[in-house]
Amino acid sequence: MTVSMNRRSLLAAMSAAAATSAGPVFGQARGEQILVVMWGAQWIEVCRPIGEEWLRATGDRVQWELHAGGAMGIVGRMRPQFPRIQQNLVAAWDPVFDAMIEADWLEPVSETEMSALKEIPEIFFKKDKQGRKITVPLSTAGAFWGYRTDLLDKPLENIEQLLEPRFKGKLCVPVPVNLSGLLMVSLAIQRGGNERNIEPGWQFLKELAQRGNIGRVVANNSEMINAMSQGDLSVAFWNTGGWQAVSERFPTRLLTRLNDNKGFLFNEGYVVMKGDNPAKIAAAKRFANHFATAEINTRYNMPLGSGPTNVNAKPADAIKDIFYKPDELAKYAYIPDYSYMSTQVDAWTRRWETEITPLVRQG
Amino acid sequence: MMRLPIAVWLIVPGAAALVLLMGGPVAVLTIDSLRPYIPGSIRAGDGYTFANYIELAKPAYFNYAYETFRIGLIVSAFSVAMGAPLAYVAVRSRRAIVRKGLLTLLVGLLVMSLIARLYAIEMTWGTHGPLAFIGAFVSGLAPRSPRYAEVLVAIGLMHFTIPIVALMLVGAFRALSPRLEEAAASLGATRSEAILTVVLPLAAPAMVSAYLVSLAMCISNFVAPLLLGRGVVVFTTNLMYTRFTDIGNYQAGAAIGVFMLIASFAVVYGLATIAKKFLPGAVPTR
């Protein structure tokens, strides 16, 4: 007897197998339509086929909505409607999770309902005031200084060198709201500070701006990738997703192992939104659990240049230089207090607008 | 029973739409602008405060508003200066192909995606663009300098104000009888004298209106400074976007919005008053 198997039936069988092995929520009624918020660019490219396979395997239908600007934007869009919101699952990162947890918008998740969560280390989860898990961590990403090696005569060895005249107009930096102010934290660390002692960072930033070394201020991934592709900027501080795209086009070096500075790590993933329709909440949990399984977690993170969170997932070869071995974490990596930073971003933005932008504009 | 004039009935739908669609959101925005912001929280604090408006009194925020209006005023002046001749030729040219071609071009420019045009401007006039040397020569700024971003933003704004201004003036020039220019010519005026002494004064009301519309489009523009401003040319609209979208400080964003509404009314009213004083025919009076 021969068994005929085409690509579609193979994918459907794989998804069905993953769904079956993923826990009790999959035993509930299928065929729900859920609205999932995701980033654009590579993120949605990876997610659409996963969603289509999911539909074929389970009957659950996924409607995608894309973040406009930073992930915090979705909070503004949902705020006037909450709790009567349409979104069931939202992809975001640490500071946005903190804001949503504080507002009590999120549905707790558990390993009983979502078996794939057992394969994610405890440290990656965010919890609510009652200590319940509240996020579905999917990626470990980072933010680092880096540069295009084809545009620099001699290597950049430490952050203090950014003040040199050779970097006039060459720096691409994020506005404080992007990456929750990690730029200032990085500069503060360089001068002996941190996120709670941020003043040294502001002083460093003012020096950079006064010397005309900041050539461009970007607000999202596309802007960073475009800016670094044009050739007039050589150094940037940005996240792994942006660097991944730049390094595909140009020779780059990420300064992930500086002795006197740090790279930053953060988590991205899903949160299940509260709502009055239990069937949709269950469907959202089923779908989030599917993303957390080892196979899909591998597929999701490979093109993003992010590290997977499922211990059984396979990280991409391209990120081996970006992510730290356990013994390197203390020396080179820093996980700041994002909850505290999210309370400071407003003040940091005002300070940027009143003290830094006028200096940058003078050139 | 007193019967209402037909004119009253005619304005009822528009007035009702204005009150509901504009008045409602502006009222909500005004109330939100008076609520306190709690750092790190999505929810507004209790009570009411003027703190969000007091913040705007800082010189840096005055500068953002000043820059927004300054660039808007300059761009609008250029737009009228360039749009008026285009409109005149589109109406008065003896060649039908020129008239139709110009009108098609103006309408076509409006149809083309603004985002595509702005990125095309960046590619053409930006640091490594083939026309960057012209922008640098005219502005006296190095294309790599942050201040050159102003030039890019101005070019971006003119891309959509010039067609609007020109199309508005097409109607005004059409309404002017060519016999007036012929009469001036029969009295010995050259073509340019006839345009300067007859056509332009008669078209002044329309040109003032077109200027104000262009100004309104510039100061409320968000995309051009966002994409071409390199993060250093920041309009008040960009400040508002940051407050609403990135920080979640809706109260401060609302305060900037209300402030800009009042400032825009004041500037437009002031300009209309000046135009009325120096160009008596430019603003209709009763």
**Are the beta carbons of A97 and A134 closer than 8 angstroms?**
yes
The DSSP secondary structure of B172-194, one letter per residue, reads HHHHS-HHHHHHHHHTT--HHHH
3-state secondary structure of A62: strand
**Residue pLDDT, tens place only, B237-251:** 999 998 887 787 889
Q: How far apart are CA A26 and CA A19, in angstroms?
A: 7
pTM confidence score: 0.77
What is the rounded distance in angstroms from the CA atom of residue A246 to the CA atom of residue A227? Answer: 10
Q: What is the DSSP string of A302-327?
A: GGGT-EESSTTS---GGGTTTSPPHH
On the CB side of A26, CA atoms within 13 Å amount to 21
Q: Where are the alpha helices (DSSP H) in B114-177?
A: 114-125, 132-139, 148-175
Residue type, A181: G
Q: What are phi and psi of B131, to 5 degrees?
A: -105, 10
pLDDT of residue A347: 92
Q: What is the pLDDT of residue B220?
A: 92
* Non-local CB neighbours of B84 within 8 Å, separated by 6+ positions: B165, B166, B169, B200, B203, B207
pLDDT band at A13 (very low <50, low <70, confident <90, very high): low
Using CB atoms within 10 A of its CB, is residue A222 exposed (0-12), middle (13-18) or buried (19+)? middle
pLDDT for residue A279 is more than 50: yes
Question: pLDDT class for A9, splitting at 50, 70, 90?
Answer: low
What is the pLDDT at residue B282?
Answer: 55
Pair A266, A260: CB distance under 8 Å = no
Predicted confidence band of residue A4 (pLDDT cuts 50, 70, 90): very low
- pLDDT for B189: 84
Q: What is the pLDDT of residue A173?
A: 96
Give yes or no for residue B158 having a pLDDT over 50. Answer: yes
Q: Which residue has the tokens 């021969």?
A: A2
Yes or no, beta carbons of A103 and B246 under 8 Å apart? no
Q: Give the pLDDT confidence score for residue A324 in this predicted structure.
A: 77
CA A305/CA A242 separation, integer angstroms? 9
CA triple A140-A103-B250, angle to 5 deg: 95
For residue B263, count CB atoms less than 10 angstroms from its CB and return exposed for 0-12, middle for 13-18, buried for 19 or more: middle
pLDDT at A360: 92
Q: What is the mean pLDDT of residues A297-308?
A: 90
Mean pLDDT of A101-120: 94
Q: Residue B257 and residue A310: Cα distance in Å, rounded?
A: 45
Q: Which candidate, B88, B262, B268, B48, places its Cα nearest to that of B191?
A: B88
Measure CB to CB from residue B246 to each of A69, A354, A361 and give the nearest one: A69
Q: How far apart are CA B215 and CA B263, in angstroms?
A: 13
A105, A71, A114: which is closest to B43 by C-alpha?
A105
pLDDT confidence of residue B283? 53
User: Is A363 within 8 Å of chain B by CB?
Assistant: yes
Alpha-carbon gap: A7 to the closest alpha carbon of chain B (Å)? 38
In angstroms, what separates the C-alpha of A311 from chain B's closest C-alpha?
Answer: 32
At A28 the pLDDT is: 52
pLDDT of residue A77: 80
Give the largest Cα separation in chain B, rounded. 75
Q: Quick check: A288 and A54 in contact, CB under 8 A? A: no
Rounded to the nearest angstrom, the minimum Cα separation between B132 and chain A is: 13
Amino acid identity of B244? F
Helix and strand tally (H, E) in chain B?
Answer: 14, 0
Whether A98 shows a pLDDT value over 90: the answer reads no
How far away is chain A from the Cα of B150, in angstroms, using its nearest Cα? 10
Chosen for mutation from A195, A206, A350, A356 (greatest number of chain B CBs closer than 10 Å) is A350
Distances (CA, A) of A40 to A45, A66, A207, A296, B93: 8, 6, 35, 18, 49
| CA pair distance A62, A50, nearest whole angstrom | 10
Tabulate helix, strand, coil % of chain B (nearest 5): 75, 0, 25
d(CA B99, CA A207): 56
Is residue A139 within 8 Å of A300, Cβ to Cβ? yes
In chain B, which residues touch A (CB < 8 A)? 37, 39-43, 55, 58, 60-61, 63-64, 126-128, 144-147, 226, 230-234, 239, 241-242, 244-250, 252
Tokens, residue A348: 């940091």
Residues 6+ apart with CB under 8 A from B133: B143
Nearest CA-CA distance, residue B90 and chain A, Å = 39
Residue A6 has pLDDT above 70, yes or no: no
pLDDT at B286 over 50: no
Provide the pLDDT for residue A262: 87
Nearest CA in chain A to B38: A343
Per-residue model confidence (pLDDT) at position A140:
87
Residue B76 pLDDT grade (very low, low, confident, very high; cuts 50, 70, 90): very high
Q: What's the Cα-to-Cα distance from A9 to each of A41, A56, A213, B185, rounded to whole Å?
A: 28, 9, 56, 83
Q: How confident is the model at residue A42 (pLDDT cuts 50, 70, 90)?
A: confident
The yes-or-no verdict on residue B284 having pLDDT over 70 is no
Would an 8 Å CB–CB cutoff place A350 in contact with chain B? Answer: yes
Which among B55, B273, B16, B143 is positioned nearest to A216, based on CA atoms? B143
- What is the pLDDT of chain A when averaged over all its residues? 87
Alpha helices in chain A (DSSP H): 7-20, 41-58, 73-78, 94-102, 182-190, 199-210, 221-230, 240-249, 278-292, 294-301, 326-332, 338-351, 357-362
- Burial (CB < 10 A; 0-12, 13-18, 19+), residue B266, is exposed
Q: Could you tell me if residue B66 is left (phi over 0), alpha (psi between -120 and 50 degrees) or otherwise beta?
A: alpha
- Between the CA atoms of A48, A53, A54 and A55, what dihedral angle is there, to the nearest 10 degrees? 90
The rounded mean pLDDT for chain B is 89
Q: What is the pLDDT of residue A355?
A: 94
- In this prediction, residue A21 has a pLDDT band, given cuts at 50, 70 and 90, of very low
CB spacing of A215 vs B244 below 8 angstroms = no
Closest CA to A271 of A36, A9, A6: A36
Residue found by looking up tokens 């609403």 in the block: B244
Residue A333 β-bridge partners: A263
pLDDT at A74 over 60: yes
Q: Which of A90-94, A100-104, A201-205 has the highest mean pLDDT?
A: A201-205
In this structure, how many other beta carbons lie within 10 angstroms of the beta carbon of residue B183? Answer: 13
